[in-house]
Chains A and B, each alone.
Chain A
Amino acid sequence: MSGLPGLMEGRVVLVTGAAAGVGRGVAAAFGSAGAIVGIGVRRPEAAEETAAAVAAAGGTPVILQCDVTDAAQSAAAIELLVRDFGRLDAVVHNAVSGRSSEATDFENTTLDEWEDHASVTVRATWRLAVQAYPYLQKSQGAYLLMSSPAGIEGSERAPFYSAVKAAQRGFVRALAREWGPDHIRVNSVAPLAISPALENMKILEPERVKRIEGLVPLGRLGDPETDIGPPSVFLCSDEARYVTGQTLVVSGGRFTSL
């Protein structure tokens, strides 16, 4: 078993965007830490694999319909966890726009494309915080945002994705101060990990993936469950009780000066 067994035993966590990729890996890592894991997804039928991974790791999966751009859905997901399990200890906001892996033609695109990114990564970051606040205050819990190295260095290909991921870093730094008196910790993780888009690239453009891997001192892209999951679990656990307002870059050493 990988991860941090027992670290989140009996704790209740909501992970958004948990149907695949980093979200699924992080959810499974919370499972291996003993958590009750709310698997927030737009389409519940797409969450079966994640639920199986959480259960196999030793956690308790709860599939929740949670399109984070829909205020009622995200509120209901949180309320359901609290109703059924009596508490909420952490929210991990990992969901991104379905267009996040697309290139953005900044000079010619419109605000509609910006809205696709901002609604999921900026507005939902704020809204989930507001909705979870009373419960996180009670549990003295944690809010974790899955950001990106692109949100620190800026991406030529993905200027909107970069910008909204940067938004989360600014949000974390300010909210950590605002919620510090409530003992709610607010952090972010900037992972470099295998994603569905990269899996696809491995098939279509294997040389490109090799080039990317060549830039990583540890020689490979991160595994969502075993590389990105444990640091994420740690940041939401009591072991990180004195860590707030931080962005932890988990990139195998690819980004060392951000």
Chain B
Amino acid sequence: MASSASTLVIGSGSGIGSSIAQRLRSRGDSMIELPPTLDLTNAEAVGESLRSLVGSGTVDRVVLAAIDPSAFRSAPIISLAEAEWDQAAEYSMRAAFVSLQQAYAVLADGGRVILILPTVVATGVAGLVPLCTAVETIRVMAKAVARRWGTRSITVNTIEVELAAFMLGDNDAGETEVPVVPVLGQPALPPASAVDDVIGLIDMLATPAAGAITGTLLVADRGTVMQP
């Protein structure tokens, strides 16, 4: 069902961010998207872009699904040059900080911030140390701002999906190599679209009934990794 609230999607250039934006757009939501080519670590550029898109208004929801694609390349850490480590791990941390900071300035009181991340930290993944490092950083950054922004009744929550779903969204893998995450078995629930699962949770978190949920992690992987 379409929402009349305005939603800012950051990271709509690829993967699940792209699929979420497409789904919200096609059902008629009021949508704002940052240009996919925008450098999310450039606070000035992000702020300026937001101001030009939002004008004097505000947004009700922010969906942030931005991990640099270099983080998905499987490689032992000892093989990484410092610039590769930076791009694969630290770029996404900086992007998360800048995105959250700049989004805050245009977010309405009572707004909802929803971060989408891949569920890789619960198990840890060899070859993806930069990704696991970035994901846990961003997840806890979200908890910290959830504590800060509660006074404006803004909630901040994280949804984690399987790595393949994060990387691909609705798209087929094609030639994209999806690293293997070590899990014990198949999902407990029958397969379905991860994008649908996430949209359902975004809608749920936007309801007044979810106004008391903040700083949490919701894992939408159909029971693949059950948190201890």
Tell me the A residues contacting B by CB distance below 8 Å.
71, 106-107, 109-111, 114, 118, 122-123, 125-127, 129-130, 133, 151-156, 158-160, 162-178, 180, 245
Contact = CB atoms under 8 A, between A and B. Distances in A.
Of B97, B120, B129, B138, chain A has the most CB atoms within 10 Å of the CB of B129
Given A111-B98, A122-B137, A130-B77, A175 B147 contact: no
Interface stretch (B78-86, B162-170, B188-196): B78-86
Contacts of A114: 93-94, 97
B147 A155 contact: yes
B144 A162 contact: yes
Given A127-B82, A130-B77, A175 B129 contact: yes
B182 interface: yes
B44 to A, nearest CB: 10
B147 A156 contact: yes
Nearest to B148: A156
A215 B97 CA distance: 31
Given A118-B93, A178-B76, A171 B125 contact: no
A122 B77 CA distance: 13
A174 B145 contact: no
Contacts of B129: 126, 171, 174-175, 178
Interface in B128-149: 128-148
A111 B144 contact: no
A166 B97 contact: no
A174 B124 contact: yes
Contacts, number: 141
15 contacts: A106-B144, A106-B148, A111-B97, A118-B93, A126-B77, A152-B140, A154-B142, A154-B146, A162-B144, A163-B137, A170-B132, A171-B132, A172-B124, A174-B126, A174-B133
A173 B124 contact: yes
Interface of B: 41, 43, 76-78, 80, 82, 85-86, 89-90, 93-94, 97-98, 100-101, 104-105, 120-148, 182, 215
> Considering the complex of A and B, which 7 residue pairs feature the smallest CB-CB distances, nearest first?
A154-B143, A170-B136, A166-B140, A173-B124, A159-B144, A174-B132, A156-B147
B136 A167 contact: yes
A28 B210 CA distance: 49
A155 B124 contact: no
A127 to B, nearest CB: 7
Contacts of A169: 121, 136
B77 A177 contact: no
B43 A110 contact: yes
Contacts of B105: 107
A122 B133 contact: yes
A108 to B, nearest CB: 8
Contacts of A162: 140-141, 143-144
A105 B79 CA distance: 36
A122 to B, nearest CB: 6
Nearest to A176: B124
Nearest to A113: B97
A176 to B, nearest CB: 6
